Amino acid sequence: MRKKNVVLEKVPVTAYAAEGKALARQDGKVIFIEGGVVPGDVVDVRLHKNKKDWAEGKVVNFHVYSDKRVAPFCHHFGTCGGCKWQMMPYSLQLEYKQQQVADHLQRIGKLVLPAMDNILGSAHTEHYRNKLEFTFSNKAYLTNEEIRENNGEIPVKPALGFHVPKLFDKVLDINTCYLMQEPVNLIRNTIRDYAIAHDLTFYDIRQQEGWLRNLVVRLCTTGEIMVNLVIHHEDKANRIALLDHLLQTVPAITTIVYTINPKKNDSIFDLEPVTYFGKGYAEEKLEDFVFKIGPKSFFQTNTYQGEVLYKVTRDFAGLTGSEIVYDLYCGTGSIGIFVSRNARKVVGIELIKEAIDDAKENAARNNVTNAEFFAGDVVDICDDAFFAHHGQPDVIITDPPRAGMHEKLVNKLLEIAAPKIVYVSCNPATQARDLALLDALYTVEKVQPVDMFPHTHHIENVVLLKKRANN
Ligand code: SAH
């Protein structure tokens, strides 16, 4: 056994690897490093995994700070799990993301790549999200500094903010968050201040008690603002007083719903939100398409870059109006609807029935009459009979979750052999694995990474595959 708890000293960090870990090489070994390091830093690393060819650890000391570093703009940086790459200039973040897509496709996919297009950066590097979920907790997470200021005592304070990574019962009280535009900070801080002033209880996840549980805010490019307050049980008088105070303080809010969640877990998908004010949903726009977004609907979290992503997808599909297009993992149908005017017909498939209901409603709202949507597992639905009934696809658009496509589906796509596949991915590692299988029939024609999440290591990547001429 190689020793685990050793500290490697003065390790020069050279690059980034997957999942936001930095990379260094020492004595022929690859070292993955967690903890806010930047290539150019020289650091001591405490290992928690130590194998023959590689090791993994956390930074414990800095000897040299990289000259590439910039000052993080958020005062919650370092504690909050959110925007962990703020210490790097945006242009460098984009370089590393671009590099990682190429690495994955070449190393995991072993693919011959065309010249890759440069990653499309986000015009908005702050305030780019359209939705955030905050958590109430009776136990605020305190930084070491705050504990020191309190002479080592840990006072129990309520908090409304984000979960601290790896600490399930602690929440970081958030003052200002740069992920969404105002009035999101005003909404959150108004509710917190009112709740504290009126002795309303914040949820205790260990004891399973307390009234206020979660706050979800959605802000659309149309100007609509939806608030969903999740409470443990009904308390009519306090609920009305709190929500009325919120409306008076933030009159820009267009709709408020509340959800009663007496369960142990935080998920609201099996619960029914109740409309308190306004229409109970919000409307978002992509180009001139309007989407209805309910409290439980999924929608791309960066509207501006969502539009860019869909444009790349539509462009790669190269539609002329005569094609049958399949939209696999279609969610609420937004990609299918976005390309529908350029296609003869769109067939969307998605696991979650409520998402398919939204997709149908969104198609109707936008007068899209050439799209059909089906709920179920893509692996089960996509059989020969289904393709025979709905028509052989000219283009398949696929946008799976992080795990990528099931191998059975990949094999089915190889059998169906559509002339083109557009593969949209939020995880280039699993995308590369799937592309390696599709390589039996398809060549990679185009690769376009899109940055949806500035200051995080997350990458979105669109690939166009074309069937080889000799097959
Ligand atoms: N294309 C959509 C959503 C992509 S997210 C958009 O751009 O908005 C991936 C979607 O795949 C999710 O909606 C998830 O519910 C769905 N999904 C996950 N596993 C699935 C499966 N086995 N079969 C069908 N859909 C699945």
Which residue's CA is the closest to the ligand 1 atom numbered 12?
A: 331
CA of 352, closest atom in ligand 1 = 15
Domain range annotation of the chain: 7-69, 92-124+301-467, 131-293
The tokens for 36 are 């806010």
In the predicted model, is pLDDT for residue 41 greater than 90? yes
Could you tell me which of 375, 363, 305, 304 has the C-alpha nearest to residue 339?
Answer: 363
CA–CA distance, 185 with 40 (Å, rounded to integer): 35
In the predicted model, is pLDDT for residue 1 greater than 70? no
Q: Which pLDDT score, from 0 to 100, does residue 166 have?
A: 80
Taking the centre of ligand 1 as the mean of its atom positions, its distance from the CA of residue 333, in whole angstroms, is 10
The answer to whether residues 156 and 139 touch, using CB atoms and an 8 Å cutoff, is yes
Q: Which pLDDT score, from 0 to 100, does residue 108 have?
A: 87
Q: Which H helix or E strand runs over 422?
A: strand 420-425
Mean pLDDT value across the chain: 94
Mean pLDDT of 31-58: 93
Taking the centre of ligand 1 as the mean of its atom positions, its distance from the CA of residue 305, in whole angstroms, is 18
Taking the centre of ligand 1 as the mean of its atom positions, its distance from the CA of residue 351, in whole angstroms, is 6
Cite the annotated binding site by residue number: 300, 329, 350, 399
Mean pLDDT of 6-34: 90
Handedness of CA 146, 149, 152, 158 (dihedral sign): negative
Across the strands, what pairs with 131?
Answer: 218
The hierarchical CATH code for the domain 92-124+301-467 is: 3.40.50.150
Domains 7-69 and 92-124+301-467 share a fold: no
Q: Which pLDDT score, from 0 to 100, does residue 81 have?
A: 84
Q: Which pLDDT score, from 0 to 100, does residue 471 have?
A: 61
Pocket test for ligand 1, best of 340, 350, 396, 405 (most atoms within 8 A of CB): 350
The tokens for 270 are 């099996």
In the predicted model, is pLDDT for residue 443 greater than 60? yes
The hierarchical CATH code for the domain 7-69 is: 2.40.50.140
CA–CA distance, 263 with 310 (Å, rounded to integer): 37
Cite the annotated binding site for S-adenosyl-L-methionine by residue number: 300, 329, 350, 399
Q: Exposed (0-12), middle (13-18) or buried (19+): which is 346, by Cβ within 10 Å?
A: buried
The tokens for 4 are 């685990």
Q: Which pLDDT score, from 0 to 100, does residue 2 have?
A: 65
Q: Which H helix or E strand runs over 191?
A: helix 184-197
In the predicted model, is pLDDT for residue 26 greater than 90? no
CA of 298, closest atom in ligand 1 = 8
pLDDT, one tens digit per residue, over 344-354 is 999 999 999 98
Q: Tell the CATH topology of 131-293.
A: OB fold (Dihydrolipoamide Acetyltransferase, E2P) (2.40.50)
Could you tell me which of 235, 234, 232, 238 has the C-alpha nearest to residue 209?
Answer: 232
Could you tell me which of 415, 363, 362, 424 has the C-alpha nearest to residue 393?
Answer: 415
CA–CA distance, 31 with 14 (Å, rounded to integer): 10
Taking the centre of ligand 1 as the mean of its atom positions, its distance from the CA of residue 430, in whole angstroms, is 15
Angle value at C-alpha 40, between 39 and 45, nearest 5 degrees: 75
CA–CA distance, 245 with 224 (Å, rounded to integer): 19
% of the chain with per-residue pLDDT over 90 = 86
39 or 18, greater pLDDT: 39
In the predicted model, is pLDDT for residue 156 greater than 90? no
Q: Which pLDDT score, from 0 to 100, does residue 255 have?
A: 98
Q: Pocket residues for ligand 1 (CB within 6 Å)?
A: 298, 300, 329-331, 334-335, 349-352, 355, 377-379, 399, 401
Residues assigned a catalytic role? 426
In the predicted model, is pLDDT for residue 165 greater than 90? no
Taking the centre of ligand 1 as the mean of its atom positions, its distance from the CA of residue 417, in whole angstroms, is 22
Q: Structure pTM?
A: 0.93
Query: What band does 422 get if pLDDT is binned at 50, 70 and 90?
Result: very high
Q: Which pLDDT score, from 0 to 100, does residue 236 have?
A: 98
Handedness of CA 163, 164, 165, 166 (dihedral sign): negative
pLDDT, one tens digit per residue, over 239-267 is 999 999 999 999 999 999 999 999 999 99
pLDDT, one tens digit per residue, over 270-310 is 999 999 999 999 999 999 999 999 999 889 999 999 999 99
Helices 407-416, 428-438: inter-axial angle, 10-degree rounding: 40
Which residue's CA is the closest to the ligand 1 atom numbered 13?
A: 331
What's the Cα-to-Cα distance from 60 to each of 44, 76, 167, 272, 277, rounded to whole Å?
6, 20, 20, 46, 50
Can you spell out the DSSP letters for 207-228?
A: TTB-SEEEEEEEE-TTS-EEEE
- Detail the DSSP E strand segments found in 98-196: 131-137, 159-164, 167-173
Which residue's CA is the closest to the ligand 1 atom numbered 3?
A: 331
**How does 42-72 read in b/e, with b if 16+ C-beta sit within 10 Å?**
bbbbbbeebeeeebbbebeeeeeebeebeeb
The answer to whether residues 278 and 250 touch, using CB atoms and an 8 Å cutoff, is no
CA–CA distance, 368 with 358 (Å, rounded to integer): 13
**How does 140-162 read in b/e, with b if 16+ C-beta sit within 10 Å?**
bbbeeeeeeeeeeeeeeebbbbb
